Amino acid sequence: MGNPKSFMLYAALSCMLLGCADEMLEPTWPNSETIVARALAADQAAEAVLTTSKERGRYLFDIREFESGETLARIIISAPLSYHEHIITLEWPEARRAEVTIDYDFGDNNLKYMLSY
């Protein structure tokens, strides 16, 4: 059997020559309006929800009243696409403020967005 490093190099070069390298490095993007994160406030009065939009890398960040689902606050946010899928953390650091963190760069340059109602 050959050297595993040689095989990996051969596979990578083959993909580059065949034009498939870009597709391999591009992270997948869920269908539009897919909920990718949600968090219930400590008092259970509201829920923060992060939903994908049609455009890759863009999200709708909502705070909704928990019982009725009525939107209390909304912003559109975006994060660059990189070599891995976005790693998303959604939490409530305060009673009426939700915060989403998007890791798009292996832990470097994380993006933070806050939304209050």
Residue 13: predicted pLDDT: 45
Residue 9 DSSP SS3: helix
Higher-scoring residue by pLDDT: 31, 11? 31
Give how far Cα 102 sits from Cα of 38, 43, 54, 114, 115, Å.
Answer: 13, 25, 18, 12, 14
Average pLDDT score over residue span 43-63: 97
Token pair of 26 as six digits: 């591009």
pLDDT digits (tens, 9 = 90+) for 58-107: 999 999 999 999 999 999 999 999 889 999 999 999 999 999 999 999 99
- As a whole number of angstroms, the distance between CA 103 and CA 38 comes to 16
Per residue in 7-19, pLDDT (tens digit) is 454 555 454 545 5
- The per-residue pLDDT for 3 is 57
Whole-number pLDDT of residue 30: 84
The span from the CA of 86 to the CA of 98, in Å, is 18
Contact 66, 40 (CB under 8 A): yes
Q: Is 66 helix (H, G, I), strand (E, B) or coil?
A: coil
Q: CA-to-CA distance for 18 and 56, rounded, in angstroms?
A: 25
8 A C-beta contact, residue 35 and residue 89: no
Which residue carries 């020559």 as its tokens? 17
Query: For the ranges 31-35, 38-42, 59-63, 73-77, which has the lowest average pLDDT?
Result: 31-35
